[in-house]
Amino acid sequence: MGKDKEKEKKCNCGEECTCGDECSCGEECKCGEKNDEAMQYLNLAKQIQADFENFRKRAIEDIKKAKLDGQISVIEAFLPCLDTFKEAKKSITDENILKGIEMIEEKIISTLQNIGIKKIESKGQRYDPHLHNVIAVMKDESQENDIILDEYQAGYIFNDRVIRYAKVIVNKKEDK
């Protein structure tokens, strides 16, 4: 056992090892067997650290996605209430009540805009399948093909993601 320890401390040239990468004779140090095991542990620690960093980044992204999905879920549940205002305004004949309903509707729309929800512009725009769902087709010779003539239900975008497509009526001239 004493000879093994002595061998570990000496290079092939017989020089004492300083546990560096290179012996004073210019050859690679041969006592690196202990260093190999240490390097394995160091590499394992680095791998665990990288895996943990990747896990941390994924967890942050998952939390952001869950938060966004939760916000969208609440907004989707809320949009039919906004649609009800549009329908209610059609049946109200008293001007004072109509003004009150419009004030509430404007406040809700303003609040939605403040949290980043945008209404999809439809009427008079060109049909875009990424934003609109066609529920009917009409023929109007005074309009171009694929122009939206009317909006049945408003669509909305939140953080560049469509949360509800606009339901629209599109112009289609007869094909020639």
Per-residue pLDDT reduced to its tens digit, 66-114: 999 999 999 999 899 889 988 889 899 999 999 999 999 999 999 999 9
The domain spanning residue 141 has which CATH number? 2.30.22.10
Taking the model in full, what pTM does it have?
A: 0.65
The answer on 70 and 87 residing in a single domain is: yes
| Number of domains, the chain | 2
**Considering just the CA atoms, what is the radius of gyration of the chain in Å?**
36
Range of the domain at 143: 119-176
The answer on 135 and 104 residing in a single domain is: no
User: Does any domain span residue 171?
Assistant: yes
Phi/psi of residue 156, nearest 5 degrees? -140, 150
The answer on 73 and 53 residing in a single domain is: yes
Helix (H, G, I), strand (E, B) or coil at 126: strand
User: Does any domain span residue 94?
Assistant: yes
